[in-house]
Amino acid sequence: MVKIFLHGCCGRMGKAIAALCENNPDYKIVAGGDIIENNNYSFPVYTSLNECTEDFDVIIDFSNATAVPTVLEFAKSRKKPFICCTTALSDQTVADILNASEEIAIFKSANMSVGINLMIELAKQATKILYPDFDIEIVEAHHNRKLDAPSGTAMMIANAIDQEIPDQTEFVYDRHSVNKARSKQEIGISSIRGGNIVGDHDVMFISDEEIVTISHRAQTRDVFAKGALRAASFMCGKERGYFTMSDIIAEYTGE
């Protein structure tokens, strides 16, 4: 059984993870952290992480970008693996997380869905085959409450594709301020916000003769919660190093 400290336990994703763990013998949330006090859980919820006295195997964080540095320090002080699921991190926080991986085990992904990470691997393979004969466009759609745009997942897709292109590329966000023809070096990224869309992502490879589209649709938030729990199992017992969902996918592909 993996014992979990769940930070951000009172948010939507925190509640989804807690619900999945309720009757699952493989996982147990022993404590949580949040700025909101909550007495409805069977485990204690701390507004100050240093008050936690429970022992645990891993930390899962689904909170907000401003809280991540505090959670990172907490993970370092307890010498426990840290699974960072929070997006829109500052460059400094990303650098601090990378540096911390020399002391503790870090798992970071802008999207915890195994399916979306498989999509990224497929997009990388498609880029190798289709670029530069095909233009590349990324379209993402989320609910109307999402604050950041483009999504962290869209940027994760764009950066993965960019790594497969030997030329210097340019990310172009929407096109309202661009008054010129599209260049081959562009990777277009467009955002849609509306309703209760959990998370849709499309990568379009477009030529004059054909269009190849790789798509992913998240139907419920449980897909991200399940991915976080899978990461918890993967990280349990690891002492240091930097890991991503690609490492989990590699277990299946044998790479």
Q: 158 near 187, Cβ under 8 Å?
A: yes
- Tokens 């997009």 correspond to 123
CA dist 149 and 136 (Å) reads 19
Active-site residue 28, yes or no? no
- Where residue 117 falls (left for φ over 0; alpha for ψ -120 to 50; beta otherwise) is alpha
Q: Which of 7, 15, 108, 142 is catalytic?
A: 142
Question: How far is the CA of 67 from the CAs of 1, 97, 129, 209, in angstroms?
Answer: 27, 13, 41, 48
3-state secondary structure 11-45: CHHHHHHHHHHCCCCCEEEEEEECCCCCCCCCCCE
Active-site residue 15, yes or no? no
Give the pair of three-digit tokens for residue 82.
């840290």
CA dist 113 and 218 (Å) reads 8
Q: Which of 28, 124, 146, 226 is catalytic?
A: 146
Instruction: Give catalytic residues, as residue numbers.
Output: 142, 146
